[in-house]
């Protein structure tokens, strides 16, 4: 145990902050504030992160130096970004789009690299700097493009699928580029040795890739399933991070890039049935560190260079835009994509990618210069930042161009990309069942038999396997995570059923579900249901199993004894005992009992007193303090008024269809329903 002393708590320099804290706070605060402003303005937050980096960087305000801590965090961001991309691009999905990856993606990389080589030779540089420049030019921003496609709902479009295939090809090409670039810097002194080193490096890379893929198929799925059975998000997250960084470290020891190691680690995890859970657990970390990465990219830009060379920067941006758009469109034409979709894809991928900065660092360390210019590195940074900022506009222009030719695109025999957004078109008007167990499985089976689409989510791997064996579609992961609920299609669902046993977990899940959907949410916790807490979290319906089983027991006993049991008469009102009644009593009602109105569940489908006595009623009222359902003053027994007097529960609401008024017995005050609850019934209703 670490002893806590006053000297440990209080530093020698009381009142001073650690040296790292100020720059870190400036980085995070600037990223959050500017990112928020950009998001409110409808701009991709990544653009805000870039702008934040430009603002606080050493060349501008100087709030943050490009120090080791920032660089380390940015490197972690790249690793986590590639890791999540690997999880999403499973081996199966890679195989499905292999033709597009090999033809369109491979040709795009080759054409763009050749264009960069040609431009460098025209500028007076040598072929080594030209090949290096071509590598930088060939890559596009995976993070920005995927974010835009997801937000615009265009992942399933022709340009979305094609862009995805090209990006995969670029990410795979980075592997060879990272191997080749250091050799280009020393190639002038030892050509044969450089060639031999390149061959050895490529063979090593192939061996590493094959070894990792074998582990992905044979070992890792079983290991992750064992970890997932702990049902502990903390342990599972640590295991996933261990796979990510462990694989990246081992590939680095083998002489292969850390980026490739992270991507391969993602592919390893993607082969496990727990891949969706892994993605949702890692995604928050990836978002944070990726934000740091883009801030660090912005910090590289020197605005003075841009102001001193505005024509050069603008010209370079235009040249890159034209070259990337044309080379991508030409590559897309080889897979028989309509020219409008090809051009739209070119505009979408017209920026320089984040991994170009990784190559830029490696290349400059090897003595290479973009375009063979002394200030080429700063020109690349300025051009990249400008085009990244312009990408949302370019994507919108491309979308308008593509929409004009949408009719022809429908005739294409496209390859489906599972998980790329095509689910959004399928998952609509379905029911999301959150949780597992006999009740949830019976409900899902009944809904399927009646033609209702069902998606189940659970954190328990055994429960998920049981549901999958029954033929249900299952999303594995923590249902309190927004991404898991989105994978289940909750934003487009007709109904969400939260069948979590733990009442506290049920409240957390309801709150998470309400944050992503306006659909009704039904909660079915085990144990005592806290109706007020569930209603505050966003539940519209609550099934209290203790109460339901109690009613079933009473009806069974009365029936066995031969006593008359009042059955719901469909010609009269039947109260929904699962619908939460929550009446926000108005402050200006003239009634002093507003605090008595609480979220409640109706206790029975009819008048509780009449059901017990075997009598009948005219109209029904619900007590707003406990959910007691009683008959009105026009009924013979007037149970609602009697209950109010006996239990000191003064407020009731009408349980009749179309009536939205409520009433206070002691103050003789009638109030309408809250705004938007429905029309107020005219006249003088019986209480």
pLDDT reading at 419 higher than 50: no
- For residue 67, tell me if it sits in a domain: no
Please give the Cα distance from 612 to 558 (Å, whole number): 10
Same domain, 445 and 314: no
> Which among 421, 426, 425, 355 is positioned nearest to 163, based on CA atoms?
421
- Mark whether 467 and 608 lie in a shared domain: no
pLDDT average, residue stretch 269-292: 74
Stretch 125-146: mean pLDDT, rounded? Answer: 87
Residue 556: the pLDDT is 61
Domain check: are 445 and 517 in the same one? yes
Give tens-digit pLDDT for 322-354. Answer: 999 999 999 988 888 888 888 989 999 998 887
For residue 585, is pLDDT > 90?
no
| Predicted pLDDT of residue 675 | 43
User: What's the CATH code of the domain at 398?
Assistant: 1.20.1530.20
Q: What is the reported pLDDT for 322? A: 93
Position 281 confidence tier, pLDDT thresholds 50, 70, 90: confident
Say yes or no: 397 and 428 in one domain. Answer: no
Q: Is the pLDDT of residue 191 over 50?
A: no
What is the Cα–Cα distance from 76 to 84, expressed in whole angstroms?
Answer: 12
Q: What is the residue-wise DSSP string for 413-438? A: -PPP-TTTTTHHHH--S-EEEES-SH
Residue 396 CA, chain-centre distance (Å), reads: 22
Q: Residue 98: enclosing H or E segment and its boundaries?
A: helix 98-100
C-beta separation of 161 from 346 below 8 A? no
> What pLDDT was estimated at residue 5?
47
Report pLDDT digits (tens) over 232-264: 777 888 888 888 888 778 777 776 667 677 777
Q: Which helix (H) or strand (E) holds 456?
A: strand 454-458
Residue 151 has what pLDDT? 67
Tell me which residue of 575, 589, 576 sits closest to 672, measured CA to CA: 589
Strand partners, 521: 496
pLDDT value for 256: 66
pLDDT of residue 645: 92
646, with CB counted inside 10 A (0-12, 13-18, 19+), is exposed
What is the residue whose two structure tokens read 């161009």? 401
| pLDDT of the residue at 366 | 83
Whether 389 contacts 50, CB under 8 Å: yes
| Mean pLDDT along residues 494-513 | 86
How many other CB atoms sit within 10 Å of the CB of residue 13? 8
- Decide which of 372, 405, 438 is a domain's last residue: 405
Gap between the Cα atoms of 480 and 482, Å rounded: 6
Supply 629's token pair: 């359902």
- In this predicted structure, which of 143-147, 313-317, 345-349, 615-619 has the lowest mean pLDDT? 143-147
More confident residue, 367 or 686: 367
- Residue 43 CB contacts under 8 Å (≥ 6 apart), including other chains: 392
Number of domains present in the structure of the chain = 3
Please tell me whether residues 203 and 103 are part of one structural domain: yes
Q: Tell me, yes or no, whether 657 and 509 share the same domain.
A: no
Task: Note whether residue 460 is domain-resident.
Answer: yes
Cβ atoms 338, 159 nearer than 8 A: no
**Quick check: 68 pLDDT over 70?**
no
* CATH number where 458 lies: 3.40.50.720
In this prediction, residue 305 has a pLDDT band, given cuts at 50, 70 and 90, of: confident
Q: What is the pLDDT of residue 115?
A: 93
Are residue 386 and residue 452 in the same domain, yes or no? no
Taking the C-alpha atoms of residue 31 and residue 150, their distance in angstroms, rounded to an integer, is 21
Report the pLDDT value the prediction gives residue 664, as an integer from 0 to 100. 93
Domain check: are 434 and 467 in the same one? yes
The angle formed by the CA atoms of residues 459, 434 and 156, to the nearest 5 degrees, is 90
685 or 201, greater pLDDT: 201
- Taking only Cα atoms into account, the Rg of the chain, rounded to an integer number of angstroms, comes to 32
- Write down which residue in 523, 543, 563 finishes a domain: 543
State the burial class of residue 330 (Cβ atoms within 10 Å of its Cβ: 0-12, 13-18, 19+): middle
The DSSP-derived string for 355-417 is HHHHHHHHHHHTT--GGG-TTHHHHHHHHHHHHHHHHHHHHHHHHHHHHTTHHHHTTS-PPP-
- Residue 226 tokens read as 């064992």
- Write the CA distances from 685 to 28, 95, 354, 370, 602, integer angstroms: 60, 69, 69, 83, 20
In angstroms, the CA 654 to CA 662 distance is: 6
Residue 414 has what pLDDT? Answer: 38
Task: Evaluate if residue 625 carries a pLDDT over 50.
Answer: yes
When pLDDT is averaged across residues 647-663 and rounded to a whole number, the result is: 90
**How far apart are alpha carbons 634 and 590 in whole angstroms?**
25
Residue of 465 and 200 predicted with greater confidence = 465
Residue 198: pLDDT band (50, 70, 90) is low
What pLDDT shows up at residue 640?
95
pLDDT band at 118 (very low <50, low <70, confident <90, very high): very high
**pLDDT at site 412:** 38
pLDDT confidence band for 425 (50 / 70 / 90): very low
pTM comes to 0.59
pLDDT at 145 over 80: yes
Give Cβ neighbours of residue 281 (< 8 Å, ≥ 6 apart): 233, 236, 237, 240, 477, 478, 481
DSSP class of residue 581?
B
Q: Is 121 a member of any domain?
A: yes
- Mean predicted confidence (pLDDT) in 586-594: 84
* pLDDT score recorded for residue 162: 87
Q: Are residues 620 and 532 part of one domain?
A: no
What are the counts of helices (DSSP H) followed by strands (DSSP E) for the chain? 30, 11
109 in any annotated domain = yes
pLDDT category at 641 given cuts 50, 70, 90 is very high
- Examine the pLDDT at 620 and tell me if it is beyond 90: yes
- Write out pLDDT tens, residues 69-109: 666 766 777 777 778 777 776 666 667 677 888 889 989 99
Residue with tokens 């949830």: 440
Last residue of a domain, one of 522, 543, 564: 543
Indicate whether 498 and 624 sit together in one domain: no
Give rounded-to-5 percent helix, strand, coil for the chain: 60, 5, 35
Residue range 221-240: average pLDDT? 78
Please give the pLDDT value at position 135: 93
Q: Are 457 and 474 in contact (CB under 8 A)?
A: yes
Q: Which two tokens stand for residue 557?
A: 């006993």
Of residues 664 and 39, more confidence is placed in 664
Query: CATH number of the domain that 662 lies in?
Result: 3.30.40.10
Q: Is the pLDDT of residue 490 over 70?
A: yes
Statement to judge: residues 313 and 454 lie in one domain: no
304: closest CA among 364, 372, 378?
A: 378
Q: Provide the domain limits for residue 335.
A: 72-405
pLDDT for residue 186:
58
Q: How confident is the model at residue 677 (pLDDT cuts 50, 70, 90)?
A: very low
- Backbone φ and ψ for 156, nearest 5 degrees, come out as -90, -5
Same domain, 395 and 461: no
Contact 297, 143 (CB under 8 A): no
């Amino acid at each position: 145990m670490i002893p806590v002393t006053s000297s440990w708590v209080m530093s020698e320099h009381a009142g001073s902050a650690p040296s790292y804290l100020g720059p870190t706070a400036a980085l995070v605060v600037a990223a959050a504030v500017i990112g928020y402003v950009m998001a409110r303005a409808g701009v991709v937050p990544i653009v805000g992160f870039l702008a934040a980096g430009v603002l606080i960087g050493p060349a501008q305000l100087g709030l943050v130096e490009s120090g080791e801590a920032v660089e380390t965090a940015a490197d972690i961001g790249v690793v986590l970004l590639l890791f999540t991309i690997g999880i999403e691009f499973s081996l199966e999905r890679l195989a499905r789009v292999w033709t597009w990856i090999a033809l369109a993606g491979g040709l795009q990389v080759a054409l763009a690299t050749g264009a960069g080589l040609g431009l460098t030779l025209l500028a007076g540089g040598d072929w080594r700097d030209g090949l290096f420049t071509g590598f930088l030019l060939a890559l596009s921003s995976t993070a920005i493009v995927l974010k835009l496609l997801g937000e615009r709902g265009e992942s399933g479009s022709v340009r979305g699928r094609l862009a995805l295939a090209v990006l995969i090809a670029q990410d795979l090409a980075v592997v060879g580029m990272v191997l080749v670039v250091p050799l280009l810097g020393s190639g002038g002194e030892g050509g044969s040795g450089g060639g031999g080193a390149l061959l050895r490096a490529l063979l090593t890379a192939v061996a590493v890739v094959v070894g990792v893929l074998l582990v992905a198929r044979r070992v890792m799925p079983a290991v992750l399933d064992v970890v997932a059975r702990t049902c502990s998000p903390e342990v599972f997250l640590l295991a996933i991070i261990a796979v990510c960084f462990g694989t990246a470290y081992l590939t680095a020891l083998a002489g292969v890039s850390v980026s490739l190691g992270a991507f391969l680690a993602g592919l390893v995890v993607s082969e496990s049935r727990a891949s969706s859970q892994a993605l949702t657990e890692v995604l928050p970390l990836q978002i944070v560190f990726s934000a740091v990465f883009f801030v660090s990219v912005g910090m590289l830009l020197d605005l003075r260079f841009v102001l001193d060379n505005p024509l050069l920067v603008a010209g370079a941006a235009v040249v890159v835009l034209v070259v990337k758009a044309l080379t991508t469109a030409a590559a897309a034409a080889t897979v028989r994509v309509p020219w409008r979709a090809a051009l739209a894809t070119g505009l979408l991928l017209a920026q320089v990618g984040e991994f170009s900065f990784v190559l830029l660092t490696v290349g400059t360390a090897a003595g290479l210069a973009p375009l063979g210019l002394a200030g080429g590195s700063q020109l690349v940074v300025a051009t990249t930042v400008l085009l990244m900022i312009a990408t949302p506009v370019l994507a919108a222009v491309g979308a308008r161009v593509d929409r004009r030719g949408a009719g022809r695109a429908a005739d294409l025999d496209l390859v489906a990309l599972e998980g790329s957004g095509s689910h959004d078109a399928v998952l609509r008007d379905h029911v999301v069942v959150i949780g597992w167990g006999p009740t949830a499985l019976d409900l899902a089976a009944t809904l399927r038999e009646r033609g209702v689409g069902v998606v189940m989510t659970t954190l328990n791997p055994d429960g998920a396997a049981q549901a999958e064996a029954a033929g249900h579609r299952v999303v594995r992961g923590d249902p309190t995570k927004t991404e898991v609920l989105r994978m289940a299609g909750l934003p487009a669902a007709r109904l969400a059923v939260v069948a979590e046993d733990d009442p506290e977990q049920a409240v957390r899940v309801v709150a998470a579900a309400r944050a992503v959907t306006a659909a009704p949410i039904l909660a079915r916790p085990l144990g005592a249901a806290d109706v007020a807490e569930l209603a505050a979290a966003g539940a519209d319906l609550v099934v209290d199993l203790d109460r339901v089983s109690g009613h079933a027991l009473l009806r069974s006993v009365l029936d066995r004894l031969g006593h008359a049991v009042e059955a719901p008469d469909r010609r009269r009102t039947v109260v929904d005992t699962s619908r939460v009644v929550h009446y926000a009593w108005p402050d200006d009602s003239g009634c002093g009992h507003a605090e008595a109105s609480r979220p409640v569940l109706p206790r029975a489908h009819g008048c509780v007193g009449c059901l017990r006595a075997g009598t009948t009623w005219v109209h029904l009222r619900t007590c707003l303090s406990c959910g007691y359902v009683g008959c009105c003053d026009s009924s013979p027994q007037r149970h609602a008024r009697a209950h109010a007097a006996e239990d000191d529960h003064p407020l009731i609401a009408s349980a009749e269809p179309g009536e939205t008024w409520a009433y206070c017995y002691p103050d003789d005050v009638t109030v309408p329903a809250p705004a938007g609850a429905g029309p107020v019934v005219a006249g003088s209703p019986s209480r």
